[in-house]
Amino acid sequence: MSKATILVVEDDPSVRNLITTTLKMYGYGFLTAGNGQSAIMQAASHNPDVIFLDLGLPDMDGVDVIRRVREWSELPIIVISARSEETDKIEALDAGADDYLTKPFSVEELLARLRVSLRRLALLKKAGEPCPTFINGGLVIDFPAETVTLDGRELHLTPIEYKLISLLAKNEGKVLTYPYITKAIWGESAESEMASLRVFMATLRKKLEDKEGSQKFIQTHIGIGYRMLKVEGTGAGREDG
Ligand code: CA
């Protein structure tokens, strides 16, 4: 399998070098851009597999780069930003970014996020094919039947809980913001729906807990949203219930 090519958009040469050196070490290909215009042109002409994007660029806001790229491409975009304000993260995610890392970051973390994005890319490429079943560890969603099972036992979900878990599953690995989710579920993103979302998410997460009371599928990003994590293992052999 040939390794992916990553477009690294970063105006700070030291950060850019750290990232490209790491990618090179792990056998990935890369392109670089030091500003937004160059990033958009390179994304359009070289068709990279993933974009690492700094939000603070000299010529334009990184969020606008995301909006422009999203006009024609669904390729994964991972925001790498010095800004720690949640509003910036939400704006970037709502504009179509898949994930974010806050500077300073570790290269291990960067590589882990990259692997998640490449997995989502592989799923996207298969998206044309019908995929009636979602399997993640011991969690199985049968979309045509609208049933959810965990370690072989069926979960009794309310219609809203089912919509929530389906939405997160279809976007596995991607952080979905509160406004995105409430709009998808209720058609609008009013404050009242935000409160409902928290309640439904709490009951859903409770139903996904194992015997020890821990839940490993839905990750909470406080103040931002939720993400369906890829869980390792198949859940096979846990027939002791
Ligand atoms: Ca910058």
The pLDDT averaged over each successive group of 10 residues in the chain (241 residues) is: 87 96 95 96 92 95 94 90 80 92 91 89 68 88 91 93 94 90 82 86 94 91 92 51 32
Helices 86-95 and 178-186, packing angle to 10 deg: 50
Q: 172 alpha carbon to ligand 1 midpoint, in Å? A: 29
Give the pLDDT of residue 188: 73
Nearest Cα to Cα of residue 87 among 225, 213, 191, 186: 225
- Check residue 54 and give its pLDDT: 94
Main-chain dihedrals φ then ψ at residue 48, nearest 5 degrees: -65, 165
| pLDDT given for residue 237 in this prediction | 39
Omega of the bond leading into 58 within 30 degrees of 0 (cis): no
How many whole angstroms from 168 Cα to the centroid of ligand 1? 31
Beta bridge partners of 40: none
Centroid of ligand 1 to alpha carbon of 162 (angstroms): 40
Distance (Å) from CA 9 to ligand 1 centroid: 9
CA atoms within 13 A on the CB side of 112: 9
Both tokens assigned to 177: 């913001």
DSSP-assigned letter for residue 174:
S
Ligand 1 centroid to Cα of residue 55, in Å, is 6
The three-class DSSP label of residue 65 is: helix
Gap from CA of 34 to ligand 1 centroid (Å)? 9
What pLDDT was estimated at residue 131? 64
Q: Rounded to two decimals, what is the model's pTM?
A: 0.68
CA of 16 to the centre of ligand 1 (A): 10
CA of 178 to the centre of ligand 1 (A): 27
Question: What is the per-residue pLDDT for 82?
Answer: 83
Question: What pLDDT, on a 0 to 100 scale, did the predictor assign at position 181?
Answer: 92
Res 194: pLDDT: 85
Distance 221 CA to ligand 1 centre (A): 24
- The secondary element (H helix, E strand) that includes residue 172 is none
Residues 53, 78 contacting (CB under 8 angstroms): yes
- Spatial distance between the Cα atoms of 231 and 116, rounded to a whole number of angstroms: 11
The pLDDT of residue 63: 95
Q: Cα(first)–Cα(last) distance of the chain, in Å? A: 40
Q: CA 149 to CA 169: how far, in whole Å?
A: 13
**Ligand 1 geometric centre to CA of 47 (Å):** 23
| Residues pairing with 141 in the sheet | 134, 148
Cα-Cα-Cα-Cα dihedral sign, residues 135, 138, 143, 145: positive
Please tell me the distance from the alpha carbon of residue 214 to that of residue 203, in angstroms, as a whole number.
13
Residues 202 and 139: their CA atoms lie apart, in Å, by 17
Ligand 1 geometric centre to CA of 134 (Å): 38
Residues in contact with 112: Cβ distance below 8 Å, sequence separation at least 6, in sequence order: none
Q: How far is the CA of 112 from the centre of ligand 1 (A)?
A: 22
The candidate with the shortest Cα–Cα distance to 105, out of 126, 84, 85, is: 84
What's the confidence (pLDDT) of residue 66? 96
Q: How far is CA 236 from CA 137, 150, 152, 188, 213, in A?
A: 8, 11, 9, 40, 19
Ion ligand 1: residues, CB within 5 A, are: 11, 54, 56
Measure the CA–CA gap between 100 and 91, rounded to whole angstroms.
11
